Amino acid sequence: MAACAVYFLFADPAVIHEHTPWNHFALLADAWRQGRLDLGGPPPAYTGNNDFSHFDGKWYVVFPPFPALLLLPIAALVKDPARVRDGQFFLWFAGLSPALLFLALEKLRRFGRSNLDELGNVGLSLSFAFGSVYFFSAEQGTVWFAAHVVGAALAAAYLLFALEAEHPFLAGLALGLGFATRTPLLLAAPLFVLEAVRAARPRLTRSVLTFAAPVSAIVLLTLVHNQLRFGDPFEVGYRFLGVAWQHRIEKWGLFGYHYLAKNLGIALTSLPFWTPRGAAPFQINLHGLALWITTPAYLWLLWPQRTNVPHRALWITVGCVALPTLLYQNTGWLQFGYRFSNDYAVFLFALLAVGGYRFGRLFRACACAAVLINAFGAGTFGRSRYAAYYFQDNTQRIVYQPD
């Protein structure tokens, strides 16, 4: 609740009191309320037709649908998506992932995998909540960021249940729902499998099958959903988006090596532009800041003091989940920091917990700096009165400061 209070404090009043302009999940929930899979007509004018799929004369929301399921009771009650305060709903939801991460870190301590005490785990959980790009993501409420908020909570729940392979069914349920929220989360499956191989050998087959059952059921439901909408179980609808980047998608595909260099450049090297003669002293490219700028604590991951279990399993999981977005045709634009890292940030913070570090003054100073940096992003991103602090190139071609 304390995290929620801070998120509400930083929120734009419009996010609290009105529906967001890109309330795709509320629109999808309302379509389900009416017994249909398409929207029943063109999207509302206030959406600017942003990221909707047009297929066979019908309009669809193509984002993974679980967040819409969360909104369905509200949509059924008010019977008008414009009356669903989707941004406020996801602000209330935003406090879940830091809380679940804390429980996972405590579990690591309980099993002797971490040398942090309870206060240290509180500190890491707060660093995730306010010292990472999760902070600015939680403030937006719009479809892209709402998925990150829900996805991060499910990733943290999965981490909690997968450690020591202690709760196979719940781990599988969290992972399956994560897939139905943020597709790359399905690739976090190695964490449970590796933990099961290590910790559940006498009951390995049963544990893995129990884990796989809810994952398989949810994946099957999404395939049926795709078949009913687009006539192909493996078609999610992105090919039918009316976006300016359709040409590059047709040329290079939705995923590919072609995009890797640009995505790595954003994730690892994107810095502010210094503009002493401009309206603001600096600007942030809306491709977003590098991860080590928004969360300097990640630099400690390069020098672990110990690599006991589940260190390797966590790194394998991070690599698997990160790979699809590093090969994706979009950097995450528009963003304050590299928002796709929300998919695997809880695993990175777990790595900080198990790395055997002694978090001294430098780490604490970097953690405090991260809170200030991300508080700036949370309070300014997407708000017109602070537009001078952001550099927007609608061609998406300018990544670094122009000459």
Going across the sheet that includes 273-274, the strands are: 273-274, 282-285, 390-391
Question: Is residue 402 situated within a structural domain?
Answer: no
Q: What is the pLDDT of residue 1?
A: 77
Domain of 140, in residue numbers: 2-391
The 10 Å Cβ neighbour count of residue 140 is 27
Q: Which whole number is the average pLDDT over 365-372?
A: 98
- Full-model pTM: 0.96
Q: Which whole number is the average pLDDT over 47-54?
A: 94
As a whole number of angstroms, the distance between CA 99 and CA 153 comes to 9
Q: What is the pLDDT of residue 247?
A: 83
Q: Given a cut of 90, is residue 102 above it in pLDDT?
A: yes
DSSP structural state of residue 43? P
Residue scoring higher pLDDT (247 or 156): 156
Q: In this predicted model, what pLDDT tens digit does every residue of 384-402 receive, in sequence order?
A: 999 999 999 998 999 999 8
Domain total in the chain: 1
Question: Is residue 400 situated within a structural domain?
Answer: no
Q: In this predicted model, what pLDDT tens digit does every residue of 276-324 receive, in sequence order?
A: 888 999 999 999 999 999 999 999 999 999 999 999 999 999 999 999 9
Could you give the angle at the alpha carbon of 377 between the alpha carbons of 157 and 154, nearest 5°? 10
Q: In this predicted model, what pLDDT tens digit does every residue of 351-363 receive, in sequence order?
A: 999 999 989 999 9
Question: Is residue 131 situated within a structural domain?
Answer: yes
Residue scoring higher pLDDT (7 or 396): 7
pLDDT band (50, 70, 90) for residue 32: very high
By C-alpha distance, which of 188, 161, 150, 177 is closest to 103?
Answer: 161
Task: Identify the three-state secondary structure at position 243.
Answer: coil
Question: Is residue 51 situated within a structural domain?
Answer: yes
| CA 225 to mean position of chain CA atoms | 22
**CA quadruple 221, 227, 233, 235: dihedral positive or negative?**
negative
Q: Given a cut of 90, is residue 246 above it in pLDDT?
A: no
pLDDT band (50, 70, 90) for residue 243: confident
pLDDT band (50, 70, 90) for residue 97: very high
Q: Given a cut of 80, is residue 242 above it in pLDDT?
A: no
Q: Which whole number is the average pLDDT over 93-105?
A: 98
Q: What is the pLDDT of residue 2?
A: 85
As a whole number of angstroms, the distance between CA 227 and CA 216 comes to 16
Q: What is the pLDDT of residue 105?
A: 98
Question: Is residue 403 situated within a structural domain?
Answer: no
pLDDT band (50, 70, 90) for residue 244: confident
Could you give the angle at the alpha carbon of 46 between the alpha carbons of 40 and 391, nearest 5°? 130
Q: Given a cut of 80, is residue 375 above it in pLDDT?
A: yes
As a whole number of angstroms, the distance between CA 357 and CA 111 comes to 17
Q: Given a cut of 90, is residue 248 above it in pLDDT?
A: no
Question: Is residue 398 situated within a structural domain?
Answer: no
In this predicted structure, which of 25-39, 45-59, 237-251, 269-283 has the lowest mean pLDDT? 237-251
pLDDT band (50, 70, 90) for residue 157: very high
Question: Is residue 399 situated within a structural domain?
Answer: no
Mean pLDDT of the chain: 96
Percent of the chain whose pLDDT exceeds 90: 92
Q: In this predicted model, what pLDDT tens digit does every residue of 182-211 receive, in sequence order?
A: 999 999 999 999 999 999 778 999 999 999
Percent of the chain whose pLDDT exceeds 70: 100
Task: Identify the three-state secondary structure at position 303.
Answer: coil
User: What residues pair up with 58 in beta bridges, in sequence order?
Assistant: 55
Q: Given a cut of 90, is residue 137 above it in pLDDT?
A: yes
By C-alpha distance, which of 341, 344, 319 is closest to 331?
Answer: 341
Q: In this predicted model, what pLDDT tens digit does every residue of 325-342 receive, in sequence order?
A: 999 999 999 999 999 999
Q: What is the pLDDT of residue 78?
A: 97
Q: Given a cut of 90, is residue 241 above it in pLDDT?
A: no
Question: Is residue 397 situated within a structural domain?
Answer: no
Q: What is the pLDDT of residue 367?
A: 97
What would the two tokens of residue 246 be? 């359709």
